[in-house]
Structure 1
Amino acid sequence: MEDREVFVGGVNLVTREGGLVRRPAGPWSGTVQRLLAQLREAGFTGAPRPYGIGDDGAEELVEYLPGTVGHDFAAPEVRSDASLVAAGRLLRALHDASVGFVRERGDVWQFAPREPAEVICHGDAATYNTVFRDGIPVAFIDFDTAHPGPRLWDAAYTAYRFVPLYAPDEVEHTLPVPEAKRRLLLFADSYGLSQDERDRLPATAAERLRALVAWMREQAAAGHPAFGRHVAEGHDRRYLTDARWIEETFGRRRP
């Protein structure tokens, strides 16, 4: 039997053949391949090895990382304190390893760089882009949205997904406010955020969600089928509801 799997994600159709993953290539794929190579050279093992672009330019090739991906937001291994701590530490290690990335004039990023460009952000370091082993996050995958930006910009979105910071109408996944605050502090500790960054974290998460909505709607308007579907399904309204709830619950101090 051929050792092959097809994965259907939120945006892309991805194929695994043995230890190799074939992903649709975009204009940013060459830059992402350089980033993945630099992360490995820096000793960061929580991202796939890059194996280049296919001969026809249509596919990006990366290493397959065995484990379970956190698509089930309510799974015990996704919602545990140990998982949250590991995610914060993994993101910090990724950011620290990315500091040595040498940007080039021809770099292309799917998400626009954001100042101050302290690190290379993953851009979507959420449970569904995290590989778990023995219930603990060990790697991030899908670096299509990587881009230069502030540490806090990336950390805020990861906190939103891992704490999680979902408004009460998301009844299946929301948390009581005291528990959400406790886990947010635990994430801040695990990443090693400064006091100023902790103070700005909730407002940054809200701003990050609004920026995501603007980008999604722009992509949908340009005819991107996946984002058109997401908007039709109300993902943008979900994010805006969560952004308002975060500000009302944690305060509105601007980033």
Structure 2
Amino acid sequence: MEELLGGSVNRVVRAGDTVRRLTGPWTPAVHALLDHLAERGFTGAPRAHGVDERGREILDHVPGEVPDYPLPAWALADDVLAGVARLLRDFHDATAGFPADPGLTWYFPAVRPAEVICHGDVAPYNCVFRDGRPVAFIDFDTAHPGPRVWDVAYAAYRFVPLSDPLQLDGPPVDGQARRLRLFADAYGLDPAGRDALIDTARARLAHLVRHMREQAAAGHPGFASHLERGDDRFYLTDDEHLVRHRDTFRRALGVPPPR
């Protein structure tokens, strides 16, 4: 077996054409979602194959390249950004008919209005590329019902990216604004989603910091290591960046100014 790199919270190993991961109370919900996606013909996600003799879930290994930070230059190309947005739209559309089952347990509680099933962590490290083209999302553990913009805002934060350029090498603010509009257009985000996107991105960062700190306090070593290297402070700095440039980003999205 081969241990796959990049996971700081879960240990993932490859066995042939499959990967094996520890299960959790949310695993039945994730497998039901992956089965639904397969039935709908959505190819941008691994298929689930139950649990092995050691109690680990069995998933398809999706071949391709998964970038991590610092991102390679090709991962910041406009066509990559637009491709991720279109893949996310296709994923959301495929989940829209997922049958609601109050008996399913998700990693995170549902966020209202529950329009679709959100992936929960759409980021470069959870996206598989082939020849520079996004082909699949992986690691659906954090999937949960929610509004489209809940996923779109976080994906835009990660892929534009909407980070303070002083702490993450990426486009300046005007370039971020242009790429944010490109992402929203490629997704086909509606006016209400555009109006909510920046505030939702801030809510996602607050949610992420709160979750990291709660998990670290509960003794989770992966999240404790995140705090030790200052990830919470990184995200809080990015939140300040979103506050400073909120109006610029909203104008780029075509949101009319308040009267």
Distance 1:187 1:212 in 2: 22
How far off is 1:72 after superposition?
Answer: 3.9
Question: Residues 45-102 of structure 1: CA distance to partner in whole angstroms, max 9, x if unpaired?
Answer: 0000110122343x11100110000214431221000100000000011001011111
Matches within 5 A, 1:184-195: 184-195=180-191
Question: Residues 159-211 of structure 1: CA distance to partner in whole angstroms, max 9, x if unpaired?
Answer: 0000001113214x232111000000000001100122112211111111011
Equivalence for 2:257: none
Distance 1:212 1:80 in 2: 26
Match for 2:219: what amino acid?
G
**Which runs of 5 or more structure 1 residues have no equivalent in the other structure?**
none
Check if 1:163 corresponds to 2:167. no
Distance 1:147 1:222 in 2: 22
Given the alignment, which residue of 118, 121, 131 partners 2:118?
121
TM-score of the superposition, structure 1-length normalised? 0.93
The answer to whether the Cα contact below 8 Å between 1:73 and 1:127 also exists between their aligned partners in 2 is no
Equivalence for 2:84: 87
Match for 2:44: what amino acid?
G
Given the alignment, which residue of 151, 155, 165 partners 1:154?
151
Three-state SS of the structure 2 residue aligned to 1:96 is helix
Match for 2:148: what amino acid?
R
Distance 1:62 1:27 in 2: 17
The answer to whether the Cα contact below 8 Å between 1:12 and 1:23 also exists between their aligned partners in 2 is yes
Equivalence for 1:98: 95
Distance 1:193 1:187 in 2: 9
Aligned-residue identity in percent:
52
Equivalence for 2:42: 44
Distance 1:20 1:39 in 2: 18
Distance 1:247 1:97 in 2: 33
User: How many residues get paired?
Assistant: 248
The answer to whether the Cα contact below 8 Å between 1:124 and 1:158 also exists between their aligned partners in 2 is yes
Equivalence for 1:13: 11
TM-score of the superposition, structure 2-length normalised? 0.92
**Which runs of 5 or more structure 2 residues have no equivalent in the other structure?**
251-259
Distance 1:163 1:96 in 2: 22
Superposed CA RMSD: 1.4
Match for 1:101: what amino acid?
F
Question: Residues 7-50 of structure 1: CA distance to partner in whole angstroms, max 9, x if unpaired?
Answer: 13121111111111101111111110110000110111000011
Equivalence for 1:176: 172
Given the alignment, which residue of 203, 206, 220 partners 1:207?
203
Three-state SS of the structure 1 residue aligned to 2:4 is strand
Question: Could you say if the C-alpha distance between residues 102 and 73 of structure 1 is closer, same or farther in structure 2, counting changes exceeding 3 Å?
Answer: farther
Three-state SS of the structure 2 residue aligned to 1:167 is coil
Three-state SS of the structure 2 residue aligned to 1:69 is coil
